[in-house]
Copies of this chain bind each other. A is one copy, B any other.
Amino acid sequence: MPTISIKGKNMPESPIRKLVPYAENAKKRGIEVFHLNIGQPDIKTPDIALEAIKNNTIKVLAYSRSEGSEEYRQKLANYYIKHNINVNADEIIITTGGSEALLFAMGSVCDPGDEIIIPEPFYANYNGFSTASGVTIVPVISKIEENFALPPIEEFEKLISSKTKAILICNPGNPTGYLYSKEEIQKLATIVKKHDLFLIADEVYREFVYDNVQHQSVLSDFGLENNAIIIDSVSKRYSMCGARIGCLVSKNKEVISTALKFAQARLSPPTFAQIASEAALETPQSYFDEVIIEYKARRDLLISELSKIDGIKVASPKGAFYCVVELPVDNADKFAQWLLEDFNLNNQTVMVAPAAGFYSTKGFGTKQIRIAYVLKKEDLITSVKILKAAILKYNKN
């Protein structure tokens, strides 16, 4: 019998998706499950993007260029310039989702055994990509009590070794919802320049910032032309998760030419989805205004409802559409499974993402969960009611 690779054995299961069978069983028993566990927005995709697909005149569905279509990259450069990110089309490589951009970035800057420092908790799939690439994640703990603000820069500096190749941030953060300030990015800029590191910034939630605070891109005004790599995606921006279109942006020519070689090996990003993504760039500002108002209202409602639960700690999110919550339970993994297997309130329950999977340090986040506020307000209210009743019952058992 041939055997699987060690890498394959070490690949993590998705902590977000591993509860799926329990949810499916609950549904089979007639229980309604509110999905707080996954960042799949319920917001409609812009009509302009969907119409572009319906009106396509393709006869031969051909490969596009490995770096993505010229027209799309040109228009995308204009989008970035509007966001104070001064790049041109040659500094953009279109990828199959932000996922592939991250894989290309890791492959371009790291060899097996190299290290990337990441503030934790972090987006769980960073674990998957680093395992696939043979990269070691070195975590820096950020704290729920500080809303997951950037840890002191000395904590990063302590961890930098000859193996360190990059610092990776997600801004605004998944799962934290934290939005880094100009001062925080400035501190990161100073340290990566001092130590010749890359600063990889996952900015897929760029538009999702509330409270009139401005998003700070690593490619804005920090002098990081050589160091910065942006990971981006249309998934959340236009509620087009299924398109699988993202991009890698860098002004470092060697990064681009290297990432292009990875892109050539897989031939091209999906053609239909590029058509939709190019059209989506014409989405009117009113679409975003409405979406932001909706998410802000959901966030405010969620935080206010959650804070009524005794013994709970909530990090107040400033962006994206997630928040991390510490529950008064012994173990969030067990609790999340119990919610689906053994609990219901009026035949309804909730599915949450246990936060331990967002940490790479063993034993951290075991009482925390991530909630994605991608449901409409009345469902969020119901969900928090369910959560409150569940905690009471769970702790009585």
Given A50-B61, A58-B50, A276-B61: A270 and B258 within 8 A (CB)? no
Chain B residues within an 8 Å CB radius of A14 = 66, 261, 264-265
Contact (Cβ within 8 A) A271 B243: yes
Query: Which of A8, A128, A134 has the most B CB atoms < 10 Å from its CB?
Result: A8
- A267 in the interface (beta carbon within 8 A): yes
Binds B, one of A95-103, A210-218, A287-295: A95-103
Q: State which residues 156-181 of A face B: CB under 8 Å.
A: 165-166
A97, chain B: closest CB distance, angstroms:
6
Chain B residues within an 8 Å CB radius of A12 = 261, 265
Contact (Cβ within 8 A) A114 B5: yes
Contact (Cβ within 8 A) B244 A9: no
Chain B residues within an 8 Å CB radius of A266 = 96-97, 99-100, 103, 125, 128
Complex: A8 Cα to B66 Cα, angstroms: 16
A282, chain B: closest CB distance, angstroms:
16
- A86 in the interface (beta carbon within 8 A): no
Contact code string A108-144 (vs B, CB < 8 Å = 1, else 0): 1111101000000000010011001010000000000
Q: Identify which of B9, B58, B108 contacts A8 (C-beta below 8 A).
A: B108
Q: Identify which of B55, B64, B112 contacts A112 (C-beta below 8 A).
A: B112
- A53 in the interface (beta carbon within 8 A): yes
Contact code string A1-34 (vs B, CB < 8 Å = 1, else 0): 1111111110111100100000000000000000
Contact (Cβ within 8 A) B11 A242: no
Given A134-B112, A198-B2, A273-B270: A11 and B262 within 8 A (CB)? yes
Contact (Cβ within 8 A) B267 A99: yes
Binds B, one of A35-43, A343-351, A384-392: A35-43
Contact (Cβ within 8 A) B261 A13: yes
Contact (Cβ within 8 A) B268 A242: yes
Which residue from chain B places its CB closest to the CB of A15 in the assembled complex? B264
Contact (Cβ within 8 A) A5 B243: no
Contact (Cβ within 8 A) B45 A128: no
Contact (Cβ within 8 A) B111 A5: yes
Contact (Cβ within 8 A) B3 A196: yes
Chain B residues within an 8 Å CB radius of A112 = 7, 112, 134
- A226 in the interface (beta carbon within 8 A): yes
- A240 in the interface (beta carbon within 8 A): yes
Query: Which of A63, A108, A244, A273 has the most B CB atoms < 10 Å from its CB?
Result: A244
Chain B residues within an 8 Å CB radius of A103 = 266
Q: Identify which of B50, B66, B125, B197 contacts A265 (C-beta below 8 A).
A: B125
Contact (Cβ within 8 A) B244 A269: yes
Contact (Cβ within 8 A) A243 B272: yes
A220, chain B: closest CB distance, angstroms:
19
- A255 in the interface (beta carbon within 8 A): yes
Contact (Cβ within 8 A) A258 B54: no
A173, chain B: closest CB distance, angstroms:
18
Known pairs A4-B108, A13-B261, A244-B269. 12 more at Cβ < 8 A?
A1-B226, A5-B114, A5-B165, A7-B111, A17-B264, A43-B60, A45-B59, A61-B241, A64-B242, A112-B134, A129-B265, A272-B273
6 nearest A-B pairs in the assembled complex, by CB-CB distance: A128-B265, A242-B271, A11-B261, A8-B258, A14-B264, A99-B266
- Cross-chain pairs A/B with CB under 8 angstroms, 11 sampled: A2-B109, A2-B197, A4-B258, A8-B261, A12-B261, A44-B60, A45-B59, A50-B59, A96-B270, A128-B265, A244-B271
